[in-house]
Structure 1
Amino acid sequence: MCADTTTVPDYKDTVFLPETDFPMRGGLPQREPEWLKRWEEIGIYDRLREKAGNRTPFTLHDGPPYANGHLHIGHALNKVLKDMVVRSQQMMGKDARYVPGWDCHGLPIEWKIEEQYRARGENKDDVDKVTFRQECRRFAEGWIDIQREEFKRLGVTGNWADPYLTMNYHAEAVIAEEFMKFLMNGSLYQGSKPVMWSPVEKTALAEAEVEYHDHTSHMIWVRFGMVRPSGPFAAAKLATGVATPEQAHPMVSEVAADALELTDSGASVVIWTTTPWTIPQNRAVAFNPTISYGVYEITAAAENSAAKVGERIVLADTLAAGVMTSARVEGFERLRGVPADELALLQLSHPFRGMAENGEWDFDVPMLPGDHVTEDAGTGFVHTAPSHGDDDYQLGQKFGLPMTYNVEPDGSYRADLPLFGGQVIIAPDGKDGPANVEIIKALAGAGKLFAKGKLKHSYPHSWRSKAPLIYRNTPQWFVAIDKPLDDGMGQYGDTIRTRALTSIDSLVQWTPQTGRNRLYSMIEARPDWVLSRQRAWGVPLTCFVRKGAKPTDADFLLRDPEVNARILAEFEENGADVWYVQGFKEKVLGDLHDPQDFEQVFDVLDVWFDSGSTHAFVLRDRPDGSEDGLADLYLEGTDQHRGWFHSSMLQACGTKGRAPYRGVLTHGFTLDEKGMKMSKSVGNTVAPEQVIKEYGADILRLWVAQSDYTIDLRIGKEILKGTADSYRRLRNTMRFLLGALKGFSEAERVDAAEMPELERWVLHRLAELDVEVRKGYAAYDFQGVFQKLFAFCTTDLSSVFFDIRKDSLYCDAPTALRRRAARTVLDLVFHRLVTWFAPVLVFTMEEVWLQRFPEGSVHLQDMPETPAGWLDPQLAAKWAGIRQVRRVVTAALEVQRTAKVIGASLEAAPVVHVADADTLAALRSVDFAEICITSDLQLTGDPEPAEAFRLPEAPGVGVVFELAEGQKCERCWQILPDVGTHAHPCTCARCNDALG
């Protein structure tokens, strides 16, 4: 019998409880900077490069952020994803290089400097251009230093000591050199086309610089009266095949007779537009031959309607009723249909005809077919101003319509435009100027306004000034993407477009695949690339044009390799600022050409050309770039399908003949917890700095790993609390590992073949996970990797292996095979988990590693090779059955615990009924009581009695509860019959032997 409790020895010091200094609370906000300092001191990035040896290179090329403000949560998402890619590739055996970079030119920075000037009441145009550019450079330098520290605080590894900057002299020289390749291969041309224009910023914008916001516009319905066909447009219709000779003037056909009758009836064609300011630039009206049109006579109208009883108008049949409602028409009648061939014969009169003394608008307006005309809204007719819309421009090119130059860079009409000279369309503050209202008044005064109203709709705005934009015809520099190139790089096509489309389909791996479809459709339909910007801070278009020559002339552009070489040499030595120094033209043309014969171009390159060229001065030119000048991966948000992915593709296809990347990964945007877009005005933003201050960077990184980055990601207080809870559970797993491995040495190690089945099952799971983790990291599936590892830690380890083996780890003798095998497996688990998790939890896994190996770093390790021989599917299947029965036993004991019948599972000795003979045999081949953490357990194939506990998911298994018989061992707490019969008081045989 066990001695009286007052004389029971205290065996606490004889139990091998876990020992570790690893705290349960991470204290990440305070401790993470310590590891950052340590990594900097040991030069961890350089040490990784030193150990590269013959490793296969992996290059993630950094898409450069703008150096003009503190980081937002989208920056954090992007850089953490990149870091997880680089670290995981490195730890899987690659030489994973990461050179961070910054976009330093362009409007984002220039606009900030302009704001400073405006705040001081100064005008930037009064400042020397080189001086202004140097201010922009200093501004960018300041923000680069700030952002660099903010990125490093996220735990992002990389060559922070030597990042790439688009404003470095060599970078500016290469950007100019890449531009000159387009100059020399003939794809560069100057054209006059409508482009998206910011009157506030006085420059053209790329599509990637445009965002859409709600805007309230004037909408008007305008009468275009009819005139008898005559003059050049009748001839033009014949030449383009719109009308047959029989239908042309003089009209002799039945259709022509109908057209004349309609014209003589005083009928009007009514158009609808939300840009009244474009009416002075009208040069045609478009219709769609597939739409059904009719002549409508107004029979009744409201007193305040601009419509007139008895007037006749032509409208699309499906839209007529809506138009009449907008015009407050109370009665109307459809007189007849108007076929397409009749519409094609009509000639219209400009609404302002006869209103200008100089005859500005005294011309006929043709009716032209266009498949861009739809029945979605309006009247079925589209007012066409070729200088102010892409569809309009294309129609104008097809039919030879004249371009107009009525709108100045500041968004005002040219001063000598009759009636409206100097009127402003978009004011400097981004608000509507008076031009729209003045146009509407003039239309009403001329009797041409049929109806008017207001429309709230999505409208293009500048993403910097937030001001509305306009389409404006202006001379710009373009790259022709459909022009065949004879450059010896035609393996994937002869034009930039075909090379890009071939690259997208054949040369690039897309993650997710939807990115392929998005970019393919954009490039398939895009127009020529507008390269020029009318700004100061950027790389200039390093070319000269011959004075007096036309853009279509063969000698319009100076193409001289020696001049180009001189320019590049100057840029390498002094940067692009030298282009703006007085006398530069004379210096580089010098003895080669007469400088008086040429004009220097002072537009700057679209900033997307800068970033699109980074492959050349980073991947190609840097020693830590890429051997073949290609990146293994570009990784950015979905907006970069029209931004960096897009411009890099076009640029490289023109200069390298193919895409500059082998893979593209796209992530979504960040939203608040309710799925709303983040906005400072709404107050729902989440700043990385705030998250790091409260939780630590590892929690932010874990949020990224837990999220599906292929769609928009939500973040907020509750989501971060959930992330922190997951982190605590993982930290608890690591803490147990460290404690249980205290003092582990190689002498304890046990070969897999000698291990009990439970340990071999864990090895099997490690072998399975090794394949899944490597496959997941290779596919950039961080969420999948994390989910598998988290489930392994919380279920396979904490709920099964740790739970079962605590008894052995605490109470077995140090030399016991079972304990040694368990500790061996824990060591193997440790090395894999810390390296598998290290790309995500960079700080925590470093802390875990240093607890065992104080002189090293987990980030200098590779993921250990895991023997394929550990895989044992047959054993895994057996243990799947064992665990299913264990769940029934555990649930049955929990019922008794809840009822206060027992306090711990060791007080039980259940009887387990198992109907399936194979399952019963499997259970009898192991110590099932040990696995269920009971002091005893009986297995039987007898039918389960009615009172047995069951679970629906485990048919054929029933558990009958019984109390364990015997006394409690005061060392291991098992209740066994032999307790009290050994030399050491109140111990069982196992504990007695362990005590020696």
Structure 2
Amino acid sequence: MCADTTEPTDAPAETIDYKDTLNLPRTEFPMRAGLPKREPEWLERWQRLAVYDRLRAQEGRTPYVLHDGPPYANGNLHIGHALNKILKDMVVRSHQMMGFDARYVPGWDCHGLPIEWKIEEQYRAKGQDKDDVDTVAFRQECRRFAEAWVDVQRDEFKRLGITGAWDRPYLTMDFHAERVIAEEFQKFLMNGTLYQGSKPVMWSPVEQTALAEAEVEYHEKESPTIWVKFAAEGEGDLAGAYVVIWTTTPWTIPSNKAVVYGADIAYGLYEVTGTPDECWADVGDRYLLADDLAADVMTRARLEPDQWRRVRDVTAEELSALSLRHPLAGAEGSEGEWDELRDFRAADFVTDTEGTGFVHCAPSHGMEEYDLYRGLGMLEQVLTYNVMDDGSFRASLPFFGGKRILTDKGKEGDANKAVIDKLAEVGGLLARGRIKHSYPHSWRSKAPVIYRNTPQWFAAIDRPVGDGQDANGTTIRERALTCIDQVTWTPASGRNRLHSMMEARPDWVLSRQRAWGVPLTCFVKKGALPTDPDFLLKSEKVNARVLEAFEAEGADAWYAENAKARFLGNDADPDAYDQVFDVLDVWFDSGSTHAFVLRDREDGAPDGIADLYLEGTDQHRGWFHSSMLQSVGTTGRAPYRGVLTHGFTLDEKGMKMSKSLGNIIAPQKVVDQYGADILRLWVAQTDYTADQRIGPEILKGTADAYRRLRNTMRFLLGSLADVTEADRTDPADMPELERWVLHRLAELDAFVRERYAAHDFQAAFQAVFTFATVDLSAFYFDVRKDALYCDGDTPRRRAARTVLDLLFHRLTTWLAPVLVFTMEEVWLERYPGEDSSVHLTDFPDTPAEWRDAALAAKWSTIRRTRRAVTGALEIARRDKVIGASLEAAPIVHVPEDVAAVLRDVSFDDLCITSGIEVTTDPAPPEAHRIEGASDIGVVFARAEGQKCQRCWKILPDVGTHPHPGVCARCEAALQDRGA
């Protein structure tokens, strides 16, 4: 019976209700999914069945370990979390169903500033100061806060259908984890890469801690900008001229120690010949400027083109003979702070694209300047300590003591204004303005950050690790760069991104000046310098005592009363050493997870190396980066074999989601409205390697695709309602149409496995979806409905039902990693039982002998010809010539080679017509043709005979059989039924 089953207008005369004699589909599988209500029931069932643990108990499987990058235990999940976890789940489930022991241990990052910040806010709301609270009590509040959010997020992740060891996740605040993090830190201590240094680091005055690059985001900020005059001292006509610098950080001028220029830049000496009423320049003033920037500088100084002139060229050799005076030198009340002459030399990083062609250097507040003077061995002469933890100037700094760069709220303080005003007062200012530019901000507090020179603890990445003997390199950087090329990157561009970052990165800042974290478990000798060989205490026995305490009590043991004496024991004099109370960067915590998850857990990785790390692209500078640094520094190799990265989630217009725009799509809302399977299907349909879009219209389209798939599965269930082993047919005995379906299954099986193995879910799903909706629903099912509904116990019907059974097992399992709830529903509809679950099965093996390239080529010709016929019938239906395709018996004009192919098949059944004539005669001009098949012409003709009241075909023999009003095929079926 065709899909186009228009009811006959005249009722049959006989008393038999032929509808009751048909093999119509029977299933209780509903068309309306009701996912939001029903999905929690399946979650409870999986937990009751202990599906994850039962899979782990399967023996003889090769482990496959996706190591979870820990989300932060703070706040409800956002759509990026959902994308990430669903992708991970599809990796785990697909590999499990391909025969692996696919393990997934979810985890959480629990230490760090965001949680500490929340607890501080609670104290501030009560009018309390965090510094007045016992450290251990404060840390315990942080722990309780993290525990609460772990429970919330765990439930939200589970609601998305994510499988894993949810009852035993890893937490970086677990005692064993804290012990291992400390142990990993001690390896840096003992292998010689740990050192204390003073250098500019990203510093948050609001949060009063150093930040890693991964903790910084860039936003537009308006800053004051000034042009400042440094008087030149030397011989000749350049003496007394001013070298002009430009800066967007006026607060760094008090820390200036030098000015640098470009050796290859063209400079000139310029003289002021006239001035307007309001101007900081005087007639006769001479300025040294880069020629390409001189006109802009003079304009900024409010000088007209006829009020200044170029005197002459100035060479790099002439510049090198000069020294400079700080503009505040000799100022009344300066107490000699700036009287020393400033260094003046060439530097590679100076350009003449903006500014003045000269760069003011405060090496305590800029990395390029710091690196320059470190290379010169002059750091002691140029480093200052003018800025305190809260972003204020040290109290003893003349003119500016106590002035704030930023307020406690992250707003601009009074430091910039004070510096600008003082420069104007002493005649050191040439011009001023405002500029909008991209500026680093803390991603937590959203406040601007500064570069600040402060003592910190570092892991040296260019210093030999231990004895330096390692196949991958002697230093952390060398090892990392080597190991990056041993990893499979998806997409491949991820390799280049991390490689370039690793090539250019500075030493790793390990320390943070906070309380909630794993402390740097080390001791320093009182009175010793960081460069002294005995500055750091290196004692295996001391280290062992610390680790033993952490294993039993957690890192709080470090802050307990008499902790120093306890840990040092008889191996060092407590009075001779200071205990370090900085905490480790949380990226060190998460970078160490390979040790306490992959290495230490029974369900970790056998060799301690994950098969896959999977996170967003921002983790090239975050977790992928810190994990590589940490692992090569302690084990000499990468912690992962593969890395997969995904983009960010945007709204339907490609805009970043934000509360202010009102375009946030919360995963909880999608789940409540559509169900988690719709969200999972959205993930499967996206190209995760780029940024993805999501919104109401996109989700509607996803839901429509879901309904089409659900229709396909419902048809399979209905058609297989009473199938038995007696229906089983060997492929060799099947009609060509069924063998063509088996060929497509064999092709698709190889493709789906290949794409799942490559984590290409979009391609895997699209292939299955296209097969289900185009090859099956729109073709095979449409054709075979007649045989399935109307045939008796014929070989054709048995073959079709065998194929439907094979289709069922492959479609449900292929789609199970994506539609975890729906495929469970489909599976249980056919295989009910307390222990039944599609997620306890594997992808079925598909025989290679099902492939038949010659048959596929033949059926490509058949389907091309069929499209020409259905196109002609659609026109007849549109023009209301016919109502259903069974009313037609068209004439098909084809070449001889096509005719030879069509003779072997029931082409009228394939076209769902009551008859068809295939001829090699030339097609008349009015014949219907389609693009891509111009050699085929179709002429419409009506079927002759009467309509069979059972199958609705119009055939000449209807009415000539014992059962009135039926055709010969239906008569035989009725005889089989004993009717």
TM-score range, shorter-chain basis? over 0.9
Distance apart, 1:487 and its partner CA: 4.8
Written as runs of structure 1 = structure 2, the 5 A alignment for 1:214-233 is 214-228=220-234
Is the CA contact 2:14–2:964 (under 8 Å) kept in the aligned structure 1? no
Q: Which residue of 2 aligns with 1:305?
A: 279
Written as runs of structure 1 = structure 2, the 5 A alignment for 1:372-391 is 372-391=349-368
Is the CA contact 2:334–2:399 (under 8 Å) kept in the aligned structure 1? no
Q: Does residue 1:81 correspond to 2:56, yes or no?
A: no
Is the CA contact 1:3–1:980 (under 8 Å) kept in the aligned structure 2? no
Cα offsets for 1:660-693 (capped at 9, x unmatched): 0000000001111111111012111010100000
Distance apart, 1:121 and its partner CA: 1.2
**Counterpart amino acid of 1:362?**
D
Cα offsets for 1:342-374 (capped at 9, x unmatched): 222221111111124420000111222211112
Residues 962 and 341 of structure 1: CA distance in aligned 2, closer, same or farther (over 3 Å): same
Give the Cα separation in 1 of the matches to 2:949 and 2:852: 38
Give the Cα separation in 2 of the matches to 1:369 and 1:745: 88
Give the Cα separation in 2 of the matches to 1:337 and 1:976: 104
Q: Which residue of 2 aligns with 1:361?
A: 338
Q: Does residue 1:120 correspond to 2:126, yes or no?
A: yes
Give the Cα separation in 2 of the matches to 1:690 and 1:299: 70
Cα offsets for 1:611-641 (capped at 9, x unmatched): 0000000000000001000000000001111
Give the Cα separation in 2 of the matches to 1:704 and 1:309: 69
Q: Does residue 1:832 correspond to 2:814, yes or no?
A: no
Distance apart, 1:282 and its partner CA: 0.4
**Counterpart amino acid of 1:11?**
Y
Q: Does residue 1:23 correspond to 2:30, yes or no?
A: yes
Residues 975 and 478 of structure 1: CA distance in aligned 2, closer, same or farther (over 3 Å): same
Cα offsets for 1:528-577 (capped at 9, x unmatched): 00000000000000000000000000000000001100110010011100
| Equivalent in 800, 809, 826 of residue 848 of structure 1 | 826
Is the CA contact 1:652–1:658 (under 8 Å) kept in the aligned structure 2? yes
Q: Which residue of 1 aligns with 2:147?
A: 141
Distance apart, 1:269 and its partner CA: 1.0
Q: Which residue of 2 aligns with 1:242?
A: none
Q: Which residue of 2 aligns with 1:338?
A: 314
Is the CA contact 1:489–1:656 (under 8 Å) kept in the aligned structure 2? no
Is the CA contact 1:36–1:153 (under 8 Å) kept in the aligned structure 2? yes
Residues 301 and 22 of structure 1: CA distance in aligned 2, closer, same or farther (over 3 Å): farther
| Equivalent in 263, 269, 281 of residue 238 of structure 2 | 263
**Counterpart amino acid of 1:931?**
L
Give the Cα separation in 1 of the matches to 2:438 and 2:502: 23
**Counterpart amino acid of 2:17?**
D
Q: Secondary structure at the match of 1:387?
A: coil
Q: Secondary structure at the match of 1:334?
A: strand
Q: Secondary structure at the match of 1:388?
A: coil
Q: Percent identity among equivalent residues?
A: 68
Give the Cα separation in 2 of the matches to 1:567 and 1:5: 92
Written as runs of structure 1 = structure 2, the 5 A alignment for 1:682-831 is 682-813=661-792, 815-831=793-809
Unaligned runs of 5+ in 2: 1-8
Give the Cα separation in 2 of the matches to 1:8 and 1:371: 101
Q: Which residue of 2 aligns with 1:463?
A: 443
**Counterpart amino acid of 1:292?**
A
Give the Cα separation in 2 of the matches to 1:345 and 1:928: 97
Cα offsets for 1:156-199 (capped at 9, x unmatched): 00000000000000000000000000000000000000000000
| Equivalent in 457, 473, 477 of residue 497 of structure 1 | 477
**Counterpart amino acid of 2:208?**
K
Q: Which residue of 1 aligns with 2:4?
A: none
Distance apart, 1:486 and its partner CA: 3.2
Q: Which residue of 1 aligns with 2:584?
A: 605
Distance apart, 1:8 and its partner CA: 6.0
| Equivalent in 499, 505, 510 of residue 531 of structure 1 | 510
Q: Which residue of 2 aligns with 1:903?
A: 883
Give the Cα separation in 2 of the matches to 1:834 and 1:321: 73
Q: Which residue of 2 aligns with 1:35?
A: 42
Give the Cα separation in 2 of the matches to 1:778 and 1:839: 12
Distance apart, 1:376 and its partner CA: 2.9
Q: Which residue of 2 aligns with 1:212?
A: 218
Distance apart, 1:288 and its partner CA: 1.5
| Equivalent in 532, 545, 553 of residue 566 of structure 1 | 545
Residues 4 and 69 of structure 1: CA distance in aligned 2, closer, same or farther (over 3 Å): closer
Distance apart, 1:386 and its partner CA: 0.5
**Counterpart amino acid of 2:310?**
R
Number of positions where the alignment pairs a residue of Structure 1 with one of Structure 2:
959
Distance apart, 1:339 and its partner CA: 2.1
With structure 1 as the length reference, what TM-score do the two structures score? 0.95
Q: Does residue 1:150 correspond to 2:150, yes or no?
A: no
Give the Cα separation in 1 of the matches to 2:683 and 2:663: 19
With structure 2 as the length reference, what TM-score do the two structures score? 0.97
Q: Does residue 1:581 correspond to 2:560, yes or no?
A: yes
Give the Cα separation in 2 of the matches to 1:598 and 1:14: 95
Give the Cα separation in 1 of the matches to 2:44 and 2:844: 27
Q: Secondary structure at the match of 2:928?
A: coil
Give the Cα separation in 1 of the matches to 2:391 and 2:927: 85
Give the Cα separation in 1 of the matches to 2:707 and 2:82: 22
Q: Which residue of 2 aligns with 1:275?
A: 249
Q: Which residue of 1 aligns with 2:641?
A: 662
Q: Does residue 1:319 correspond to 2:293, yes or no?
A: yes
Is the CA contact 2:542–2:569 (under 8 Å) kept in the aligned structure 1? no
Q: Which residue of 1 aligns with 2:74?
A: 68
Distance apart, 1:293 and its partner CA: 1.7
Give the Cα separation in 2 of the matches to 1:302 and 1:647: 57
Give the Cα separation in 1 of the matches to 2:541 and 2:385: 37
Written as runs of structure 1 = structure 2, the 5 A alignment for 1:180-219 is 180-219=186-225
Written as runs of structure 1 = structure 2, the 5 A alignment for 1:829-978 is 829-855=807-833, 856-915=836-895, 917-978=896-957
**Counterpart amino acid of 1:646?**
H
Cα offsets for 1:21-63 (capped at 9, x unmatched): 1111110000000000000000010011011x11110000000
**Counterpart amino acid of 1:118?**
R
Distance apart, 1:295 and its partner CA: 1.7
**Counterpart amino acid of 2:409?**
D
**Counterpart amino acid of 1:54?**
G
Is the CA contact 1:284–1:367 (under 8 Å) kept in the aligned structure 2? yes
Distance apart, 1:894 and its partner CA: 0.3
Is the CA contact 2:614–2:645 (under 8 Å) kept in the aligned structure 1? yes
Cα offsets for 1:62-118 (capped at 9, x unmatched): 000110110000000000000000000000000000000000001011111011111
Is the CA contact 2:330–2:338 (under 8 Å) kept in the aligned structure 1? yes
Distance apart, 1:337 and its partner CA: 2.0
Give the Cα separation in 2 of the matches to 1:224 and 1:181: 48
Q: Does residue 1:328 correspond to 2:334, yes or no?
A: no
Q: Which residue of 2 aligns with 1:417?
A: 397
Distance apart, 1:5 and its partner CA: 3.9
Distance apart, 1:275 and its partner CA: 0.3
Give the Cα separation in 2 of the matches to 1:769 and 1:973: 35
Q: Secondary structure at the match of 2:933?
A: coil
**Counterpart amino acid of 1:133?**
R
Name segments (4+ residues, structure 1) moved above 3 Å: 2-9, 299-302, 486-489
| Equivalent in 365, 370, 373 of residue 396 of structure 1 | 373
Is the CA contact 2:192–2:466 (under 8 Å) kept in the aligned structure 1? no
Cα offsets for 1:4-26 (capped at 9, x unmatched): 84446320011111111111111
Is the CA contact 1:8–1:986 (under 8 Å) kept in the aligned structure 2? no
Is the CA contact 1:70–1:146 (under 8 Å) kept in the aligned structure 2? yes
Distance apart, 1:324 and its partner CA: 2.2
Distance apart, 1:221 and its partner CA: 0.8
Is the CA contact 1:3–1:985 (under 8 Å) kept in the aligned structure 2? no
Q: Secondary structure at the match of 2:561?
A: coil
Q: Which residue of 1 aligns with 2:3?
A: none
Is the CA contact 2:651–2:663 (under 8 Å) kept in the aligned structure 1? yes
Written as runs of structure 1 = structure 2, the 5 A alignment for 1:643-654 is 643-654=622-633
Distance apart, 1:3 and its partner CA: 11
